[in-house]
Amino acid sequence: MKNFALRLTAVAALAALASPAFAAFDANIEFDNTWLNDRKFDDGEGGTTKVKRGIEQSGRVELNASGKAGPDVFIAGRASFLAKKDGSVATDDMWVQVGNASADLKLGRFEAADLFPLPRDVLVLYADGGDGSVGNTVYRSNVLRGRTGGNLFHAAGTFNAGGGLSVELGLIETKNTADGTFKGLRPVVAYANGPLTVRGGVELIRWADGAEFNKATGFGLTAGYNLGGVTLTGNYANLKVDDGGVDLKTNTLGLIASADMGLTGGVILYKAKVPGASDYKITTFYAAYAIPFFDIKGATISPAISVSNASGSNNNPDERGVRVRFNYAF
């Protein structure tokens, strides 16, 4: 049944690509070869447990179809189909958008404004144990950004005030009898003028696990400035969580420099605070270099490295990794 569902998804995506309603078609292949260090965990008995990782390989082919119609009031849409190296298929973007030059509304599966951009994030590791639990995952003000969950309702309205100023209001909600409910509101204000780009926003998150009601409030601010060949980006994210009476506060700071020639490097500093406990800290460094593959249009090779260290009350193993990404747009 699972394989049948995967094949059905592929057929539906390909049918969308063939629809005459879409005017533009493109595709690309992304292929990663990654080395990750062995991870050593405390076994609780005075010893360690080693998890060997070594070299792994992943990749996908992305097929896109998009179109837009209407001179003043417009309608636009996009569908992105992914065929992955592991044999699975998936849908990346799938949305429709209506509006005009002053305001528009987007519905479906997409990503809203990025409040913590990481240019050329070919490989970014976090010493968080990989469990994804609240307080252990680095918060980047993008919980409500979108492109998550198959049954998720996601809408974002954008209002252009002129002079480079715009406001985006996003709404996300999902209901699942097994995992409870989840919903959130995400207003973002953006300003762009010449080499300067600034975005700030708030995430109001609410979720229920059974009869228990929890909430979190996040704030994010990002600013980028192009100095002529090099763009400097500063990101800040703050999160306050009330999860079953446990108060958690986190702060994340990112400083990134990205050169037009393809080289990017940055550092991400994360700290979580729980009353009565020492700070939980993660320090991550990453760098990547997008190198054109001879004179072939749309082809690049991107070597990347990332190092992430745990400190304070964070007992997770440090992370080390190297990746070489091949990308070809055709």
What are the pLDDT digits (tens) for 241-267? 876 666 889 999 999 999 999 999 999
CATH superfamily entry for domain 103-330: Porin (2.40.160.10)
CB-side neighbour CA atoms (13 Å) of 255: 3
Write out the DSSP string of 245-271. TEEEEEEEEEEEEEETTSEEEEEEEEE
Rg (CA), the chain: 21
C-alpha to C-alpha distances, 173 to 52, 95, 151, 205, 249, nearest whole angstrom: 39, 16, 9, 10, 24
Q: What integer pLDDT is reported at residue 210 of this predicted model? A: 64
Contact 177, 195 (CB under 8 A): no
Helix and strand element counts for the chain (H, E) = 1, 19
Q: What integer pLDDT is reported at residue 178 of this predicted model? A: 57
Please name every residue paired with 91 in a beta bridge, in sequence order, or none if there are none: 81
Domain residue ranges of the chain, discontinuous segments joined by +: 1-30+58-101, 103-330
DSSP character at residue 13:
H
Residue-wise pLDDT for 278-304, tens only, equals 899 999 999 999 999 999 999 999 999
DSSP character at residue 111:
B
Name the residue with tokens 């992305």: 62
Secondary structure element (H or E) that encloses residue 5, with its range: helix 2-18
Res. 129 pLDDT band, cuts 50 70 90: confident
Q: What integer pLDDT is reported at residue 6 of this predicted model? A: 44
Terminal Cα distance for the chain, rounded: 33
Res. 112 pLDDT band, cuts 50 70 90: very high
Asked if residue 116 has pLDDT above 50, the reply is: yes
Please compute the mean of the pLDDT values over residues 169-192 and round it to a whole number.
86
Helix (H, G, I), strand (E, B) or coil at 18: helix
Contact 207, 183 (CB under 8 A): yes
Contact 221, 200 (CB under 8 A): yes
CB-side neighbour CA atoms (13 Å) of 131: 10
CB-side neighbour CA atoms (13 Å) of 320: 6
Contact 166, 188 (CB under 8 A): no
In whole angstroms, give the CA distance from residue 300 to residue 324: 10
In whole angstroms, give the CA distance from residue 168 to residue 187: 6
